[in-house]
Amino acid sequence: MNQFNEFLLLLDSNLSGSWWFPILLVGTGIFFTIYLGFPQFKFFGKAWKLVSGKNTKSDAEGETTAFEALTTAMSGAVGTGNIGGVALAIWTGGPAAIFWMWITAIFGMTTKFVEVTMGHKYRTKLEDGSISGGPMYYIEHALNMKWAGILFAFLMMITAIGSGNMPQINNIALVMNTEFAVPKLFTGLFLGVLLWIIIIGGIKRIASVASKIIPIMGLIYFGGALVILIENYQNIIPSFNAIFAQVFTGSAAVGGFLGASFAMSLKYGVARGLYSNEAGQGSSPIAHASSKNTSIDQGVVSILEPFIDTIVVCSVTALVILSSGVWTEKFDTTFSKTDMVILDGIYSDQENIDGTYIYPDHMNQLTRYVQSIESDVNEFSGIINIEEGKLLNSDITVLHSRSIAENVVIKNNADKNLYSGSLNVVNGKVIEPVLIEGKSLVSSAELTAKAFSQGTFGDYGGKLVAIALLLFAFSTAITWCYYGDRSTAYIFGEKGVFWYRNFYVLCFILAAVIDTTIVWNIAYVVVALVSIPNLIALFVLRKEMKNLTNEFINQN
């Protein structure tokens, strides 16, 4: 698994982690924002009027209302990206990463407007009478490139599993296990069966479920977040300062957080922004294509999606995490082998009374190391000795979750008893299958749960996050199966949808027990892959989009 994870990291470094992908993604949004005359601001008020459905004709062709299409698309976007993804962005890129999430969302509102309009315009009616649309159709019919449409649909089939499926159940299973002690496999099996029951009903059942879950859960989640923010009101302004003050310098080390460079803040802010609102990814047009609206009207409605998803929901999550201070604190946790490395030498993150580090050079070198910048830090290879779960070696440092681990305890993997003996370590990685526990930073949904557990809610805060994540992420998995099966129908016809849905559910169940870091790295790679052909196609269709926008302006 370590080798597979290294392969994923290599792919990611050349895709979303490279210099050109953020430029392509955000650049497309900037180009269309200027080219179309800032539609995300110009049509913002109109979008709210259209989503009410007052202008929708009951006999118009389509399967859902504008509101149902919007909530279906949002159910595909509002999930782990808003609860776990924001925490992951802060954990890796620091507070400054949130700024780049906002930038991605602002320009993503225009990208969403363009891709949804095109996806709706070139939608088609299949043999069974259902509506199907998305980038594969405008790539084929507008660009006359059937092969590229097939390529996009194939990548979307993979992305639906790697992005819309696996990270969702992985985070659900993790938080349900942490907060309610529910075995991960049981969570995967139970929700897998429920998922299968819902998705066989097609878009109408999916839209019906999504239009009920999203508004209700949104209110509950916001209510809980508001309580936390009121309790920590004195830290809200400092939280904004932390976001803006280091935008172009990267986030400095503080507490157990080792710091992040400008490049890391930009990379993870853009990556999490894309994963959160999906602008440019080509997924939302598939849901919006089912609407009874006109193409341009539905495109205007879709402007609300990145706004609600990232500007509102992600910002609330970020402020809760930053104002509570948990992002720099260490908590008791079970170590992930992927996120743990044993270093040669002793390093310390102890602080003076004034908050400065006793050994600033240690923090500087470790910061460079976790950012893959040349440093003096070396990974340990050799034998470590354990007695009653305690490390006997005094010349090593355990790094877990990008922080110096404390109170490390080694246990037998089978019976969970304290381990005694020796372990082989190669390039910082423990070879033997043992269970390792201790205190370190936490990330993803677990970090958000810790933030909600501060103050009034206590342990119930984590349970609130667990329930919110369960509903949000589960609805995301439902919607993404629809994206995958529409892509399957495009390539193989409706006969292939049955087999895809079953494979989708199988992957859903298996992902409940897979390493969290590996699941997220898979998501990073596939999201970037599917975005590239869609963004290129949108740019080629710019003149057609310009004409449609001008017609809409003249009519209104």
- Give me the residue label for tokens 């990611």: 12
Domain that holds residue 169: 2-329+450-555
Residue 146 lies in a domain: yes
Q: What is the pLDDT of residue 414?
A: 85
Q: Do 425 and 459 fall within a single domain?
A: no
Rounded CA-CA distance 16/25 in Å is: 9
For the chain, the residue count is 556
Q: Do 386 and 465 fall within a single domain?
A: no
Return phi, psi of residue 403, to 5°: -150, 160
Q: Do 156 and 191 fall within a single domain?
A: yes
Residue 143 lies in a domain: yes
According to DSSP, residue 234 is labeled G
The closest alpha carbon to 116, from 49, 168, 21, 51, belongs to 51
Domain-ending residue, one of 440, 475, 507: 440
Q: Do 323 and 336 fall within a single domain?
A: no
Domain-ending residue, one of 409, 440, 471: 440
Q: What is the pLDDT of residue 295?
A: 92
Rounded CA-CA distance 326/90 in Å is: 11
Q: Do 312 and 265 fall within a single domain?
A: yes
Residue 445 lies in a domain: no
Tell me, what CATH number does 238's domain have? 1.20.1740
Spatial contact of 106 and 277, defined as CB atoms under 8 Å apart: no
Q: Do 305 and 178 fall within a single domain?
A: yes
In three-state form (DSSP H/G/I as H, E/B as E, the rest C), the secondary structure along 130-150 is CEECCHHHHHHHCCCCHHHHH
Q: Do 129 and 27 fall within a single domain?
A: yes
Residue 366 lies in a domain: yes
Residue 476 lies in a domain: yes
Joined tokens for residue 261: 């460079």
Consecutive sets of 10 residues in the chain, 556 residues long: mean pLDDT of each?
A: 75 76 88 97 93 63 80 74 84 91 93 96 83 92 91 90 84 83 92 90 76 77 90 94 89 88 82 77 91 92 91 92 94 90 95 89 91 91 96 94 95 92 95 94 88 87 86 86 92 90 93 74 79 92 96 89
CB-based burial, 472-498: b 16+ in 10 Å, e otherwise: bbbbbbbbbbbbbbbbbbbbeeeebbe
Residue 240 lies in a domain: yes
* Amino acid in position 5: N
Q: Do 315 and 424 fall within a single domain?
A: no
Q: Do 392 and 262 fall within a single domain?
A: no
Q: Do 516 and 416 fall within a single domain?
A: no
Q: Do 55 and 85 fall within a single domain?
A: yes
Rounded CA-CA distance 303/516 in Å is: 32
The closest alpha carbon to 109, from 306, 259, 336, 261, belongs to 306
Domain-ending residue, one of 389, 408, 440: 440
Rounded CA-CA distance 99/87 in Å is: 14
Residue 84 lies in a domain: yes
Query: What is the total count of domains within the chain?
Result: 2
Rounded CA-CA distance 93/268 in Å is: 6
Residue 97 lies in a domain: yes
Q: Do 271 and 255 fall within a single domain?
A: yes
Joined tokens for residue 367: 């910061």
